[in-house]
């Protein structure tokens, strides 16, 4: 056993020397994750602040002026223009000068007095994702609040009671998007880097023909795989711990649960992620092919594992695919422990599941490697 | 410039070189299949999968004492199928702690004791929403939806009031994408993302490979000038990239039914320009990278996340802090996404998009100049 480990250690040492000697790669491995974390950690999410609004006012009454004031007062919107020209409003929407046009129809105030109800049209630029829903939601709330006040001014008293709705956000009451983004970005970065380095490494040896040379040595397949897996694993762990420390220091991400659980989770998760990288390198012939297949898998991780988009809204089959990616489970563990303060009892099952998946993927990679090398 | 005799010396050789590079790509059919099939597969797969709308939110009620009024609120949420999925009713909020932590419940509606009695007395009864805000995006949207359901119910409770209650009725209209179909929002972004990475990766790796294996030296010993070597390497990939554009746009149109309201010719022309932009990024990367590993790390690890997060693909640029918005100006995909969305969804033309087009042309010019010059100097 000791001799076995010694061989693995020497192999790992050789891999490390190869990476450290290549100054360009070394610089990339250290710079890319930390610089991206610092910059992208600030990438805001769906928050609405001072979104530009154009008011198309055909009424020019006290009510329409009150509406303009209200829109600007909450901080969510900034009224950039009040116009009566539909062409100007349309152009503003089309050129993205405004995210919404609020249209006050002619004789709004008069209609309110005579008929008791009058429409306010909200034309939202729906080109930009979920923002449109939020913009329209906020605007509707502002209009409803104004309507309630008008009703109160008019002295109308509701005959029956009603609901007074308030809301509390748990786990992230300040709505700090860093808490949500930074763990996601950390997982993305260590996954991208560790998977690429591992997959490319074997593909390169195959392309250069040095894989053949290794095969004529007394090295066993398991030793070979361990030697190829460990450097990436150590690199991934180092990046993970460094990125977590940076995330804590710079962005103040919370650590409400036990951080050791997260580190243990990362240790297991990286075995799966890197095992998949090794598997890719056993089914491709050239470095170029390896890169494109890796790109495909990494995009799958980024877009379908709930890192940046909600999982619940994906169709059933896509949720099934997401459940098969290790990223989905590890991100869940991270968010549960860091943000929600979950304990070992709540997450150990998931970590154990990742462990089983890791063993399966590695066995498959060792087996495939044999076939590919044969 | 198909090598007509009598042309400038070098053109013939150049044409031959381009042809040779083309054969290289065509001969390796396995890689060619990957290069053509992969972007299409990605757009199809992710186009169907990604949604930013919030659906099937697991919701629970906290009712200390159920009565007719609380049942009416519950019926409201039960009717909002699609958005909410009622998973349970408990007596005390503490009973939900575990479910919230594991994510089994994400929104809870806390109803007060004796709701029916309070409403009967004309009181404003407090109703509290508890929202899992760990993910502020979804949290905000879930809260807005739940609030809307409650406000609608509240409005109906108020409605039979006598006398004239002036009511402003907000009528929202979603312009350019009335159903808020996620497909229309994401497919343009997906096209930009996949095109960027595939094109940049292709060029960066091909050139780095020649450098790594030493065959670049051989090319330099030929009568071709350094920039011709670069152009010859890249030209076939421009064709390949444009083939990707055609495949992916056809899929967007036929499979997803994304409209093309503007000029198709303009869309194709600008897609060709953008392919060149992405290839130029690849040239810049390869001008610095000595090995395929360095080129790949720069193209994938360096470009994937910024292209995804700083291009407006998933997160709106308007919501970003100012310095980050400034950085996003340098991400070519950002401008291409605006162009694709503008032409496809809004029917925009040159009059609306000239700024975006100019920026893209300028970025491409800078990238090409920097890349080719640096590469030529290194090679020369």
Cross-chain residue pair A302–B100, CB shorter than 8 Å: no
- pLDDT above 70: residue A186: yes
Instruction: Please give the average per-residue pLDDT across A180-186, as a whole number.
Output: 85
Q: Does A93 touch chain B (CB under 8 A)?
A: yes
Instruction: Please give the average per-residue pLDDT across A12-39, as a whole number.
Output: 84
Q: Which of B55, B176, B316 sits opposite A131 (nearest CB)?
A: B316
- pLDDT above 80: residue B174: no
Instruction: Please give the average per-residue pLDDT across A336-350, as a whole number.
Output: 85
Q: Which backbone phi and psi does B302 adopt, to 5 degrees?
A: -80, -30
The SS3 call for residue A255 is coil
Q: Does B57 touch chain A (CB under 8 A)?
A: yes
Contacts with B193 (C-beta within 8 Å, 6 or more apart), sequence order: A299, B307, B308, B311, B313, B333
Closest approach of B220 to chain A, Cα-based (Å): 23
Cross-chain residue pair B158–A137, CB shorter than 8 Å: no
- pLDDT above 70: residue A309: yes
Cross-chain residue pair A302–B294, CB shorter than 8 Å: no
The SS3 call for residue B220 is helix
Alpha helices in A95-220 (DSSP H): 108-115, 131-153, 177-208, 210-215
Write out residues 229-268 of B within 8 Å (CB-CB) of A.
none
Return the residue of A nearest to B144 by Cα.
Answer: A137
pLDDT 10s digits, A355-371? 999 999 999 988 887 65
| H-run or E-run covering A117 | strand A117-125
pLDDT at A51: 85
The SS3 call for residue B313 is coil
CB A97 within 8 A of CB A91: yes
- pLDDT above 50: residue A374: no
Choice between B314 and B205, residue whose per-residue pLDDT is larger = B205
Q: Among B87-96, B147-156, B198-207, which is the least confidently predicted range? A: B147-156
Size of chain B in residues: 380
Q: Does A123 touch chain B (CB under 8 A)?
A: yes
Q: Does B117 touch chain A (CB under 8 A)?
A: no
pLDDT 10s digits, B212-269? 888 877 877 777 777 788 888 888 899 999 999 999 999 988 988 888 889 999 999 9
CB B100 within 8 A of CB B54: no
Q: Does A61 touch chain B (CB under 8 A)?
A: no
**Nearest to residue A308, comparing CAs of A99, A125, A40, A38?**
A40
CB B377 within 8 A of CB B290: no
Torsion of CA B35, B38, B39, B44, to 10 degrees: 160
The structure tokens listed for A156 are: 């109308």
Cross-chain residue pair B168–A126, CB shorter than 8 Å: no
Which pTM value belongs to this model?
0.80
Q: How many CB atoms lie within 10 A of CB B26?
A: 11
Closest approach of A105 to chain B, Cα-based (Å): 11
The mean pLDDT of chain A is 83
pLDDT 10s digits, A39-78? 888 775 666 778 889 999 988 888 888 889 988 887 888 8
Instruction: Please give the average per-residue pLDDT across B59-71, as a whole number.
Output: 89
Q: Does B94 touch chain A (CB under 8 A)?
A: no
Write out residues 247-266 of A within 8 Å (CB-CB) of B.
none
- pLDDT above 80: residue B17: yes
Distance CA B24, CA B209 (A): 13
Write out residues 126-165 of A within 8 Å (CB-CB) of B.
126-134, 136-137, 139-141, 143-144, 146-147, 150-151, 154, 156-165
Q: Which of A139, A295, A318 sits opposite B201 (nearest CB)?
A: A295
Q: Among A23-27, A275-279, B138-142, B328-332, which is the least confidently predicted range? A: B138-142
pLDDT at A360: 94
Cross-chain residue pair A204–B292, CB shorter than 8 Å: yes
Question: What ipTM score was computed for the predicted complex, to two decimals?
Answer: 0.78
The SS3 call for residue A11 is helix
* Max Cα-Cα span within chain B: 99
């Amino acid at each position: 056993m000791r001799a076995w480990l010694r061989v693995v250690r020497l192999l790992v040492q050789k891999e490390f020397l190869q990476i450290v000697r290549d100054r360009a790669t070394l610089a990339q491995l250290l710079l890319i994750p930390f610089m991206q974390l610092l910059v992208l950690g600030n990438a805001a999410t769906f928050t609405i602040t001072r979104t530009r609004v154009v008011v198309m006012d055909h009424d020019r009454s006290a009510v329409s002026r009150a509406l303009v004031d209200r829109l600007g007062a909450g901080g969510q919107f900034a009224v950039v223009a009040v116009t009566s020209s539909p062409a100007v409003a349309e152009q503003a929407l089309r050129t993205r000068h405004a995210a919404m046009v609020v249209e006050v129809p002619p004789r709004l105030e008069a209609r309110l007095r005579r008929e008791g109800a009058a429409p306010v049209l909200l034309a939202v630029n729906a080109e930009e994702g979920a923002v449109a829903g939020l913009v329209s939601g906020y605007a509707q709330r502002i209009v409803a609040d104004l309507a309630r006040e008008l009703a109160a001014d008019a002295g109308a008293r509701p005959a029956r009671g009603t609901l007074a709705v308030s809301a509390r956000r748990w786990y992230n009451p300040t709505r700090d998007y860093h808490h949500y983004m930074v763990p996601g970005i950390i997982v993305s970065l260590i996954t991208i880097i560790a998977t690429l380095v591992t997959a490319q490494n074997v593909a390169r040896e195959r392309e250069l023909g040095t894989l053949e040379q290794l095969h004529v040595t007394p090295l066993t397949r398991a030793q070979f795989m361990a030697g190829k897996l460990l450097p990436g694993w150590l690199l991934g762990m180092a990046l993970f711990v460094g990125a977590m420390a940076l995330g804590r220091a710079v962005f103040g991400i919370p650590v409400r649960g036990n951080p050791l659980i997260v580190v243990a989770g990362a240790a297991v998760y990286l075995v799966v992620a890197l095992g998949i990288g090794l598997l890719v390198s056993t089914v491709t012939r050239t470095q170029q092919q390896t890169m494109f297949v890796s790109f495909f898998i990494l995009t799958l991780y980024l877009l379908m594992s709930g890192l940046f988009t909600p999982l619940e809204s994906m169709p059933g089959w896509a949720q099934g695919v997401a459940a098969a990616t290790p990223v989905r489970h590890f991100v869940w563990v991270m968010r549960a422990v860091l943000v929600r303060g979950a304990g070992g009892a709540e997450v150990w099952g998931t970590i154990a599941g990742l462990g089983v998946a890791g063993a399966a993927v590695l066995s498959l990679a060792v087996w495939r490697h044999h076939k590919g090398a044969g | 410039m198909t090598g007509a005799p009598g042309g400038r010396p070098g053109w013939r050789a150049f044409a031959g070189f381009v042809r040779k590079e083309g054969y290289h790509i065509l001969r390796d059919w396995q890689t060619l299949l990957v290069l053509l099939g992969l972007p299409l597969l990605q757009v199809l797969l992710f186009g169907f999968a990604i949604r930013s709308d919030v659906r099937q939110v697991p919701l629970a009620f906290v009712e200390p004492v159920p009565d007719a009024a609380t049942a009416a609120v519950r019926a409201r949420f039960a009717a909002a199928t699609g958005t909410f999925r009622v998973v349970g009713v408990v007596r005390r909020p503490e009973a939900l702690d575990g479910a919230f932590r594991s994510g089994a419940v994400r929104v809870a509606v806390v109803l007060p004791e004796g709701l029916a009695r309070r409403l009967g007395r004309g009181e404003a009864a407090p109703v509290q929403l508890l929202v899992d805000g760990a993910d502020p995006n979804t949290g905000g949207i879930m809260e807005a939806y739940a609030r809307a359901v409650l406000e609608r119910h509240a409005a109906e409770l108020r409605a039979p009031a006598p006398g004239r209650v002036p009511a402003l009725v907000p009528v929202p209209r979603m312009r350019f994408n009335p159903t808020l179909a996620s497909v229309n929002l994401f497919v343009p972004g997906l096209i930009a993302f996949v095109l960027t990475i595939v094109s940049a990766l292709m060029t960066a790796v091909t050139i780095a490979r020649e450098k790594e294996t030493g065959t670049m030296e051989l090319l330099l010993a030929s009568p071709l000038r350094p920039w011709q070597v670069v152009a010859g390497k890249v030209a076939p990939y421009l064709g390949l990239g444009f083939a990707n554009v055609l495949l992916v746009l056809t899929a967007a149109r036929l499979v997803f039914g994304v409209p093309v309201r503007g000029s198709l010719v303009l869309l194709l022309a600008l897609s060709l320009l953008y392919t060149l932009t992405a290839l130029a990024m690849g040239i810049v990367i390869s001008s610095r990278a000595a090995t395929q590993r360095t080129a790949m790390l720069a193209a994938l690890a360096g470009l994937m996340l910024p292209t995804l997060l700083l291009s407006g693909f998933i997160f709106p640029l308007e919501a970003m802090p100012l310095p980050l918005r400034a950085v996003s100006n340098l991400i070519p995909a950002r401008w291409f996404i605006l162009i694709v969305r503008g032409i496809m969804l809004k029917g925009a033309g040159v009059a609306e998009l000239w700024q975006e087009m100019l920026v893209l042309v300028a970025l491409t010019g800078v990238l090409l100049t920097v890349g080719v010059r640096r590469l030529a100097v290194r090679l020369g």
